[in-house]
């Protein structure tokens, strides 16, 4: 593929992102359209490693520079720094000028950073998923391993309050407790007392973020969309709540190998039901790497009784699994599919657990 063809591919991806992934954010819609029309900006994507070359990486790199108080008129468009200017005809020119001025830092992000949203809104599905797993396996004690954990905030799942259409789950509401609103589509189950507790928590990541570092927190904030102040507030509350309760985060290029060592060597892990969780991580895998990952996780399931909870793009659906369709005409390609895999009598079992909004705004339970 020549350079011109590659730029056209990227232009289509930015327009698709504007239309499908962030239509509710007028600023990101306008920025995506401006980038799609500007070859100089599209060419920046060639700097990102293949597995990380995604639209939202460039968006986050630009946003991070805004949050870092880089002086420029472009900041007036960003609600995340108090901007109230709506997208207009001046935005494309200001965007190009800003990127040129901040090019070294933006290029560094494209080469070395990863999109790490640490979206705790997904915990609105993770909480009932852990409830389901505890009942399915008949075990109250769970060990939660977050693969691709970022800063590990999803490991605090039971510390957040979840408000669904007709009932609530999780921690009691109170000052400083993040409240996650989630619309439960279709028939909701009768709420039951929490049937699980986390005895071990472990975050695994190629580049885990230490939120004691100001730059790490700013990068997490940059990965959020600028208009969504509710998500930004939730993030701030979750970070504050984690102070003094920081989970163990491990940097590893072989996270599954490290996990197997834990399962083999530490009795506390054997005394609980280990649950491997990932959300929007497999999306970044090349096909060969994904096939290898699936095979290695299957071995851990069969050898160590691991349960695999995966929340990914529908394109990452395990082979042979046929989830029920989404209700209400919602688009599957803009949703998250939650699947479960475990072993019974020496064979692999799998189940489509739920559909959800990528940020947990709604869920449709399937199990």
Q: Is beta strand 183-185 parallel, antiparallel or unpaired with respect to 362-365?
A: parallel
Q: Is beta strand 141-147 parallel, antiparallel or unpaired with respect to 197-205?
A: parallel
Helices 103-112 and 55-67: crossing angle in degrees, nearest 10, is 130
Q: Tens digit of pLDDT for each residue in 164-180?
A: 988 999 999 999 999 99
Q: Which of 89-98, 238-247, 303-312, 358-367 has the lowest mean pLDDT?
A: 238-247
Q: Give yes or no for residue 117 having a pLDDT over 70.
A: no
Q: For residue 75, what pLDDT is reported? A: 97
Does 107 or 211 have the greater pLDDT score? Answer: 107
Q: For residue 166, what pLDDT is reported? A: 85
Does 191 or 32 have the greater pLDDT score? Answer: 32
Query: Once rounded to an integer, what is the mean pLDDT over residues 221-237?
Result: 91
Q: For residue 298, what pLDDT is reported? A: 97
Query: Once rounded to an integer, what is the mean pLDDT over residues 187-214?
Result: 90
Percent of the chain with pLDDT over 90: 75
Calculate the average pLDDT of the chain: 93
Q: Give yes or no for residue 327 having a pLDDT over 90.
A: no
Q: Tens digit of pLDDT for each residue in 78-87?
A: 999 999 999 9
Long-range contacts of 68-74 (CB under 8 A, 24+ apart): 68/105, 68/218, 70/98, 70/101, 70/102, 72/97, 72/98, 72/101, 74/98
The ranges assigned to domains in the chain are 3-112, 120-365
Place of tokens 């500007």: 38
Q: For residue 1, what pLDDT is reported? A: 66
Q: For residue 129, what pLDDT is reported? A: 98
Q: Is beta strand 347-356 parallel, antiparallel or unpaired with respect to 179-181?
A: unpaired
Query: Once rounded to an integer, what is the mean pLDDT over residues 136-140?
Result: 96
Q: How confident is the model at residue 127 (pLDDT cuts 50, 70, 90)?
A: very high
Q: For residue 289, what pLDDT is reported? A: 92
Q: Tens digit of pLDDT for each residue in 247-292?
A: 899 998 899 999 999 999 888 888 899 999 999 999 888 899 999 9
């Amino acid at each position: 593929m020549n350079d011109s063809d590659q730029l056209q591919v990227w232009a289509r991806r930015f327009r698709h992102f504007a239309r499908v992934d962030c239509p509710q954010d007028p600023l990101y819609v306008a920025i995506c359209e401006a980038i799609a029309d500007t070859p100089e900006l599209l060419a920046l994507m060639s700097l990102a490693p293949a597995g990380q070359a995604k639209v939202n990486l460039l968006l986050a790199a630009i946003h991070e520079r805004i949050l870092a108080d880089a002086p420029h008129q472009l900041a007036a468009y960003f609600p995340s720094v108090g901007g109230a200017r709506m997208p207009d005809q001046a935005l494309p020119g200001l965007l190009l000028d800003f990127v040129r001025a901040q090019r070294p830092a933006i290029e560094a992000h494209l080469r070395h950073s990863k999109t790490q949203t640490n979206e705790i809104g997904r915990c609105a599905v993770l909480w009932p998923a852990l409830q389901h797993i505890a009942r399915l396996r008949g075990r109250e004690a769970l060990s939660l391993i977050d693969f691709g954990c970022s800063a590990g905030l999803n490991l605090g799942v039971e510390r957040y309050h979840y408000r669904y259409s007709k009932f609530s789950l999780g921690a009691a509401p109170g000052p400083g407790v993040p409240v996650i609103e989630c619309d439960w589509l279709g028939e909701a189950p009768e709420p039951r007392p929490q049937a699980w507790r986390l005895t071990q928590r472990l975050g695994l990541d190629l580049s885990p973020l230490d939120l004691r570092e100001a730059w790490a927190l700013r990068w997490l904030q940059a990965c959020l969309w600028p208009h969504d102040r509710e998500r930004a507030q939730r993030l701030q509350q979750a970070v504050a709540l984690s102070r003094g309760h920081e989970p163990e985060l491990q940097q590893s290029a072989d996270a599954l190998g490290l996990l197997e060592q834990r399962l083999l060597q530490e009795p506390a892990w054997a005394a609980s039901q280990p649950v491997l969780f990932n959300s929007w991580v497999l999306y970044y895998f090349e096909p060969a790497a994904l096939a290898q990952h699936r095979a290695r996780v299957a071995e851990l399931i069969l050898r160590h009784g691991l349960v695999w909870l995966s929340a990914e793009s529908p394109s990452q659906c395990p082979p042979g699994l046929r989830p029920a369709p989404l209700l209400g005409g919602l688009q599957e390609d803009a949703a998250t599919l939650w699947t479960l895999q475990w072993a019974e009598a020496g064979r692999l079992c799998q189940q489509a657990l739920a559909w959800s909004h990528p940020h947990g705004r709604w869920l449709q339970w399937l199990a």
